[in-house]
């Protein structure tokens, strides 16, 4: 899904798309996730199975890539990107399956590991995209993505699903309601929506286009990908393994969102590729601090048989950011200029800063109230 991301906006421009339409096509990936992720989580918990969803995800990923490769119109580009949203929706079952191999209290560590592997795969695939296009044309990343998807599809048959042999436990209405109204899940989901909106506006959206505008070649986009994604991957491990067990989660999120805001807003002011690479290395690190932490927080206090529902809710809500972020950015740029996409990204990150402060203070007040009540008893 990511092998074509660095050149995707430029490819859509090549097909004749306006920034508004490009934003809609980029956002369609998140639109399908908003619709599917919660139902997938509920069904997965109800049936207590995870593996079949992985198979469906990889199959639709193959269809999406070959859809891009075999057609050359904005309409089919929209449809293929929309189908790729089905692939991403299956991430619900995958993350819960992986977390099931760990102790409940190690959820953040597990999510840090999986985020690291994900980012490493994104780094490798995205690093190839510019080279592939320069050597074999626009269609090359789509063909390779489809072939890799087929390999992944075959590999899923060797995955062990520990839930498959367990007694199926029907999710009751009050269980579902308790998950859907869990405050920490909703808070984590909203902050993650902001983080993903920024990511899909910047590195997975318009940052590569800015790099091309200031003199990058398609081949040198690989440098931008590496300078962003390597710190992004490192931050996932550092946050999951070290920061999360030593510091308050709200403090980590505050720093992550603040750094993201700063290094997103500066992008349109940069006209040197070397400085762009340097600033986006910091941007990658700060964005990488927030995502594994939020994913771990969303499921850490949820029992195993309801985790897919919680993860489905969490991922469905953050998918709103994947859809609305690029769509809003494309619309803004159409009317107020290209630089506005990065101002929007910075503004959304600042909302994350504000909420991290407010919710940290609320936790402090709640904790003090509990202590006072205990003493009075």
Domains in the chain with CATH codes: 5-159+182-376 (1.20.1250.20)
Mean pLDDT of the chain: 86
Residue with the bigger pLDDT between 79 and 160: it is: 79
Predicted local confidence at residue 372, as pLDDT: 72
Of 241, 207, 226, 203, nearest in space to 128 by CA: 226
Where does residue 373 rank: exposed (0-12), middle (13-18), buried (19+ CB within 10 A)? exposed
* Spatial distance between the Cα atoms of 299 and 63, rounded to a whole number of angstroms: 31
Distance CA 77, CA 71 (A): 8
Predicted confidence band of residue 164 (pLDDT cuts 50, 70, 90): low
> Region 314-330: what's the mean pLDDT?
87
pLDDT at 363 over 90: no
Residue 45: HSE in the Cβ half-sphere, 13 Å Cα cutoff? 26
Q: Is 366 exposed, middle or buried (0-12, 13-18, 19+ CB in 10 A)?
A: exposed
- Going by C-alpha positions, the residue among 56, 29, 6 that lies closest to residue 327 is 29
The residue among 60 and 307 whose pLDDT is bigger is 60
Among 49-53, 188-192, 235-239, name the most confident range.
188-192
User: CA–CA separation, 134 vs 338, rounded Å?
Assistant: 25
What pLDDT does 170 receive?
Answer: 54
Q: Is pLDDT of 7 > 80?
A: yes
The share of the chain scoring above pLDDT 70, in percent, equals 94
Structural tokens at position 309:
């529902």
Say how far apart CA 273 and CA 364 lie, in whole Å: 44
Query: What is the structure's pLDDT at 174?
Result: 62
pLDDT, position 264: 97
Q: Is the confidence at residue 64, as pLDDT, over 90?
A: yes
Question: Would you state the pLDDT for residue 377?
Answer: 55
Return d(Cα 277, Cα 224) in angstroms, integer: 6
pLDDT confidence bin for 24, thresholds 50/70/90? confident
pLDDT at 95 over 90: no
pLDDT at 188 over 80: yes
For residue range 223-259, list pLDDT tens digits in order.
898 899 899 989 988 988 888 888 999 999 999 999 9
Q: How confident is the model at residue 175 (pLDDT cuts 50, 70, 90)?
A: low
Q: Looking at per-residue confidence, does 288 or 366 come out higher?
A: 288
Q: Higher-confidence residue: 34 or 374?
A: 34
């Amino acid at each position: 899904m990511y092998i074509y991301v660095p050149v995707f906006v430029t490819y859509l421009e090549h097909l004749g798309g306006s920034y508004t339409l490009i934003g809609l096509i980029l956002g369609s990936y998140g639109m399908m996730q908003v619709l599917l992720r919660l139902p997938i989580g509920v069904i997965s918990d109800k049936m207590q199975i995870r593996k079949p969803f992985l198979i469906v995800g990889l199959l639709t990923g193959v269809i999406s890539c070959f859809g891009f490769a075999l057609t050359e119109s904005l309409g089919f580009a929209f449809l293929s990107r929309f189908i790729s949203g089905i692939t991403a929706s299956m991430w619900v079952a995958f993350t819960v399956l992986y977390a099931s191999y760990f102790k409940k209290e190690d959820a953040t560590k597990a999510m840090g590991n999986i985020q690291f592997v994900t980012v490493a795969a994104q780094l490798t695939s995205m690093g190839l995209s510019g080279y592939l296009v320069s050597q074999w044309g626009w269609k090359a990343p789509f063909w390779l993505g489809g072939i890799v998807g087929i390999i992944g599809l075959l590999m899923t048959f060797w995955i062990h699903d520990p839930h498959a042999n367990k007694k199926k436990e029907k999710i009751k209405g009050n269980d579902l309601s308790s998950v859907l109204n869990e405050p920490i899940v909703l808070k984590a989901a909203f902050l993650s929506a902001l983080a993903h909106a920024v990511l899909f506006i910047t590195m997975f959206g318009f940052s590569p286009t800015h790099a091309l505008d200031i003199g990058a070649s398609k081949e040198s986009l690989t440098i931008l990908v590496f300078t962003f994604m390597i710190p992004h991957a490192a931050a996932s491990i550092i946050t999951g393994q070290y920061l999360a067990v030593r510091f308050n989660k709200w403090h980590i999120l505050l720093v992550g969102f603040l750094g993201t805001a700063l290094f997103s807003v500066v992008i349109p002011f940069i006209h040197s590729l070397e400085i762009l690479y340097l600033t986006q290395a910091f941007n990658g690190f700060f964005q990488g601090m927030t995502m594994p932490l939020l994913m771990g927080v969303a499921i850490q206090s949820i029992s195993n048989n309801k985790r897919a529902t919680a993860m489905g809710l969490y991922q469905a809500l953050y998918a709103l950011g994947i859809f609305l972020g690029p769509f809003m950015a494309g619309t803004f740029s159409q009317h107020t200029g290209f630089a506005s996409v990065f101002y929007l990204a910075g503004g959304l990150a600042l909302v994350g800063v504000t909420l991290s402060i407010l919710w940290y203070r609320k936790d402090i007040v709640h904790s003090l109230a509990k202590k006072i009540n205990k003493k009075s008893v």
